[in-house]
Amino acid sequence: MANNPVKTKGPLRIALRLMAYVVTLFIVLGPLSGLVIWSLAIKWYWPHLLPSEWGLFYWAKAFQGELMRSFLNGVTIALIVTAFVVLLSVPLAYVLARYRIPVKRFILVLFLLPQAFPSLPIFANLSTLFYRWNVAGKMTGVIMIHIGAAFIYSIWTMVSVFQSIPLVLEDAAASLGARRIRTFFDVALPLAVPGIAASSLLVFLYSLDEFTGTLLIGSPFVKTLPVQMYLASMGYEMQIASVTSLIITIPGILLLVFFERFMKAEYLSSFGRL
């Protein structure tokens, strides 16, 4: 009789764990299920609970015409933004992480200052300047907006990455006669590659998903998938909006996989020491 409680704990724990998994999957995948159904629905009328006609018509439509051009525009802009931001943030983050700068915390907070205000009025004010500079409605203006916003995320991530690398390794190279620039390229930079990869992916996904600045600065000539999704939703084209939403969601899923692989725990713990 004394062993019965012990025996019942095992199945009870398994049942509770399965229930937790089911609830988690429902919370995560529940909202996506509606998008999947709408993306496959050709005819769906009230009061039917499910579409009366299914097919891949709208998926095929997404990979041709204006939607495909918007997707290519978004990928091109994201790649350019990622290259510029990484080239700028990596050396600056190394300087902030390794050198004693009296106003280092102020500089890092200054980078975060734009995030303290709503993005809509900031982009609206910038649009007036961009029209004066003749870059509004062009890919150049959209790239500039994305770089300014994505640089904030990249610089904070890269500072934490370089702070997590033991300084003793660079000191050992310096004691053997290596100059600071060589220790950076031969010691710090190779060890920071996983963090750089994670930061690059974060910047790429931010640029790919950015909507407000792209709409205000790029419209009506530069459109990306988030803008197309907004326009389709406003026109109640639920199938097109659902397809574009799922296409945008796929990189987010890849983000979780790559972050688990590249973003090490010591990088994340360094955020508290900035």
265 pLDDT above the threshold of 60: no
Mean pLDDT taken over the chain: 81
267 pLDDT above the threshold of 60: no
pLDDT in tens, 147-162: 988 888 888 888 888 8
**Helices marked H in the chain:** 4-40, 57-62, 65-98, 104-112, 119-132, 139-164, 167-175, 180-183, 189-191, 193-209, 212-213, 225-234, 238-262, 265-269
Residue with more model confidence, 273 or 102: 102
Percentage, residues of the chain above pLDDT 70: 84
Write the CB contacts of 28 (distance below 8 Å, at least 6 apart in sequence): none
User: What is the pLDDT, as a whole number, of residue 271?
Assistant: 46
User: What is the pLDDT, as a whole number, of residue 120?
Assistant: 78
User: What is the pLDDT, as a whole number, of residue 104?
Assistant: 67
pLDDT in tens, 8-50: 556 778 888 888 888 877 777 777 788 888 888 888 888 888 8
Give yes or no for a contact between 189 and 158, defined as CB atoms under 8 angstroms apart.
Answer: no
DSSP state letters, 243-261? HHHHHHHHHHHHHHHHHHH
As given in the structure block, the two tokens for residue 212 are 């407000």
User: What is the pLDDT, as a whole number, of residue 32?
Assistant: 77
**Can you tell me whether residue 270 is helix, strand or coil?**
helix
Most confident of 35-39, 81-85, 128-132, 187-191: 81-85
pLDDT band of residue 259 (cuts 50, 70, 90) is low
User: What is the pLDDT, as a whole number, of residue 154?
Assistant: 87
84 pLDDT above the threshold of 90: yes
By C-alpha distance, which of 115, 111, 141 is closest to 126?
141
Q: Is 261 left (phi over 0), alpha (psi -120 to 50) or beta?
A: alpha
pLDDT in tens, 195-218: 888 888 889 988 998 998 899 898
pLDDT band of residue 272 (cuts 50, 70, 90) is very low
What one-letter code names the amino acid at 215? L
User: What is the pLDDT, as a whole number, of residue 79?
Assistant: 94
Least confident of 128-132, 140-144, 254-258: 254-258
User: What is the pLDDT, as a whole number, of residue 73?
Assistant: 92
**Structural domains of the chain, ranges and CATH numbers in brackets:** 4-54 (no CATH), 57-273 (1.10.3720.10)
Alpha carbon distances (Å) from 81 to 12, 134, 139, 248 = 51, 20, 11, 17
